[in-house]
Structure 1
């Protein structure tokens, strides 16, 4: 381990100093465009990244059945499946917004995989109405072709070891990228990254699996502190392109500049990315298989970091339904969601988490839903007024604390508080979708995952480690 850390400090070719197969990392950048009813794909470029492949070559096939999409790398000649991973996209979220019914837009996306020895066929599949993956795009690629861009390692960016447990090939590699940190705030970035990753490992199942993770840090200094908040007239140059107000939601933080993000990330070993924005305003976001974001200076940074990482890392669905979102589920007929922690409960005998449900537990399971919803409506009214009047963030934080205290008090008195069943209200919908427990980190700002979410996370940890 000491030699590993020493290698990190002296250059970017440190992976060559540990015992792993010498396989390069391929990145395919492409464009994903369309509108509410159509989508198109177009190849942009193929690159060989500076660092070797950080993943376990014995775990190239994804059988977790997560994500809106699935991408496959198949041998061009034989059709043999070489690599696969499920993922979701920002385009899919945008497709359900009001804007998508009016105009076409394009989004940058990337696929990363270990370099094959022969030409391959890249396939992107998408779920249909029956939740089955269907082919939507494919392209042949020769990673040895002359026009493939070969990135060179340099000394300008070095990964900072935050939490290193072993060789990248044996671990889940999480890269924390700082945005909105000035040169003088680089120490603050490292402190923020350590503080929030340490909190992540206090939450089960990350707590029990901490040794299965490596955490790295990278940050390119900006001239101004913080990232843009267009709704308040604040526009700051951003190294990753991260910004608040994505799709018109004041708390939604994403980057739409995938190329800028990947050009930074390629200098560290990673499978997952969390962008820390150097802002105090509550906000974050997470896309399965892409990245997650969190406002490092928010009073709720711990919750934001872990909640949004739950989306990005494990494809966990939001279990709340009383807060407005910028996009819609687009699922009026309540087909069974692919996310592991929510259900449409169409077939009680096939409930995803039936192994945890007692024989005497009623489905659906009762909870103080009406009381909660009445309080939530008042909470959202006050919240909207605070943002409308641009009140100090301390007032918003106090409101959140009051809301969490009151709802926790309400739930803890209910006889089904610890019950695992099917509680109506999840996936942004008050009716038709169900969560497994009354309270969970994916439902409110509490700081523990329910049993079902823990299982969903553990499945992904197993895919990348051990």
Structure 2
């Protein structure tokens, strides 16, 4: 592991940065021939009923493709969407990945029933050496993938953007475990950090990534990861919280109050995000926001965010990364959210929740002991009664704009209550099917009584650990 000093200056002049990029190229590809990285930027527009796609541009990024050539096909069946890169002549699928989008969440909001919005999205893949067709799929009401858009790409086309200016931003190696082709590359990007906050950002990135690798299965697989850090300084510290009238400039458009949820934080300028990220090797991105207020977000295959200054920042980093990295669903259901999961309760694609239509075919049944009842009893009524009290206090604290320390104390009290309640439950450490998950009190079930996708505890359940390992294997080529 290579730890570089935090005092290294992030902002470099172009000449110095050219040397840094050359060094990154050597690390990323070692002695193997470099495959370029192609990025298809497009617009995704629509409302609750309709959607449309339109190409924005095709870019050849400045750094080589960081992925493992041994695992070009995604067999995880994760994501609301999937894309394939297909040989135009033979129809052979050359590359595929599952992912989800901000648009898919937004179109379930009340706003989407009243107006049309557009979102920027990107698909990244190894640059082909021959004409290909990029095919985009979306899950239908039965969660089966159906085609929704396709576009032909000729890698020799004159309108492909091939030149990029050297970046004045130098990626910092937080963990360098070897060539990118054989590692999962995680890029941590800072937002809301001024130039004077550069050392603070590096310290935050190192602290939270170090914590990530204390949590199983990341702990056992730490050698399969590289971690990079990169930030574009902002004029003021912090990102915007519109609900409190607090606004700050951000290149990435990162802010709180997404979809009306005071704790939901996303970056909405995808083009700007990709323009910054392309100067570091990456497959996954986590954005650290320089705020104390509790908040974060995660979109599978896109990015995740976490408030770096909160007492629960380590938890936020891992929880939101679980969404982004492995497509894990939220297992909690008593906190309000700004979008809906739907009322039909089809079997979810997410690996850690189920609608339990057929208990005998439970998707994680290999973890369930024969004597464990399915559905599995747990102190649901007691949990819900106390949780409603906590949620009421939470709303009052935000309405009164109380200090964040009071919210953090409330969260600690809530977690302590859960730990005590669950400690006495008969099926405390068993895998089964515990009703209450996916933002719904009934109809959806989670694998274990407690998991960091359920509350602010510090460990994944066994099913979530399996799901994370499958994605590590996919990207590291195991």
1:207 to 203, 219, 236: 219
Counterpart of 1:448 in 2: which secondary structure? coil
Match in the other structure for 2:154: 142
Q: Secondary structure at the match of 1:379?
A: helix
- Give the secondary structure class of the aligned counterpart of 2:142: coil
- State whether residues 20 and 169 of structure 1, in contact with CA within 8 Å, keep that contact through their aligned partners in structure 2: no
SS at match of 1:391: coil
Unpaired segments ≥5 residues, structure 2 = 6-15
Q: Does 1:118 align with 2:127?
A: no
Q: Distance in 1 between matches of 2:241 and 2:18?
A: 35
The size of the alignment, in residue pairs, is: 463
Question: Could you state the TM-score of these two structures normalised by the residue count of structure 2?
Answer: 0.95
- State whether structure 2 residue 43 is matched by structure 1 residue 13: no
In structure 1, stretches of 5+ residues that fail to align are none
Q: Secondary structure at the match of 2:334?
A: coil
Structure 1 runs (4+) greater than 4 angstroms displaced: none
1:71 corresponding residue in structure 2: 83
- 1:388 aligns to what? 399
Deviation at 1:334, TM superposition (A): 1.3
Q: Secondary structure at the match of 1:343?
A: coil
The match for 2:372 is 361
1:433 counterpart = 2:435: no
Q: Secondary structure at the match of 1:424?
A: strand
Distance 1:151 1:303 in 2: 39
Whether 1:180 aligns to 2:192 is: yes
CA positional deviation for 1:155: 4.9
- Corresponding position of 1:342: 353
Residue 323 in structure 1 maps to residue 335 in structure 2: yes
Q: CA deviation at 1:153?
A: 5.5
Contact map agreement 1:9 1:158 (CA 8 A) in 2: no
SS at match of 1:150: coil
Length-normalised TM-score, structure 1 = 0.97
Matched residue of 1:196: which SS?
A: helix
The answer on whether the counterparts of 1:181 and 1:225 sit within 8 Å (CA) in structure 2 is: yes
Return the alpha-carbon distance in structure 2 between the equivalents of residues 376 and 450 of structure 1: 21
Instruction: Give the CA deviation at 1:13.
Output: 2.7
Q: CA deviation at 1:136?
A: 0.3
1:23 maps to: 35
Deviations 1:27-70 (A, max 9, x none): 00000011001111111100000101011112110000000000
The one-character-per-residue Cα deviations of 1:203-260 (angstroms, maximum 9, x if unpaired) are 0000000000000000011110000111111110012211001111110000111011
Instruction: Provide the rounded CA distance (Å) in 2 between the counterparts of 1:136 and 1:315.
Output: 21
Contact 1:15 1:52 in 2 (8 A): no
Alpha-carbon distance between aligned partners in 1 of 2:396 and 2:107, rounded to the nearest angstrom? 29
SS across alignment from 2:451:
coil
Look up the match of 1:252.
264
Is the 2:192–2:239 Cα contact (8 Å) retained in structure 1?
yes
Whether the 8 Å contact between 2:17 and 2:169 is mirrored in structure 1 is no
Identify the residue that residue 93 of structure 1 maps to in structure 2. 105
2:146 counterpart SS class? strand
Supply the distance in 2 between the matched residues of 1:105 and 1:152 (Cα, whole angstroms).
29
Could you list the per-position Cα deviations for residues 273-320 of structure 1 after superposition, in whole angstroms to 9, with x for gaps in the alignment? 000000000000000000000000001000000000000000000000
Structure 1 counterpart of 2:9: none
> Shift in Å at residue 423 of structure 1?
0.2
Paired residues of 2:433 and 2:448 also in contact (CA < 8 A):
yes
Q: Does 1:404 align with 2:410?
A: no
State the distance in 2 between where 1:334 and 1:132 align: 14
- Is the alpha carbon distance of 1:44 and 1:155 closer, same or farther for their aligned partners in structure 2, counting shifts above 3 Å? closer
CA contact (8 A) 2:294 2:312 kept: yes
Q: Which residue number in structure 1 is paired with residue 384 of structure 2?
A: 373
Q: 1:118–1:142: 8 Å Cα contact kept in structure 2?
A: yes
Q: Tell whether the 8 Å contact from 1:67 to 1:288 is kept in structure 2 after alignment.
A: yes
Q: Is the 8 A contact 1:11 1:155 kept in 2?
A: no
1:153–1:267 Cα contact (<8 Å) kept: no
Please give the secondary structure, in 2, of the residue aligned with 1:149: coil
CA RMSD in angstroms, aligned pairs only: 1.5
Residues 123 and 135 in structure 1, CA contact (< 8 A), matched pair in contact too: yes
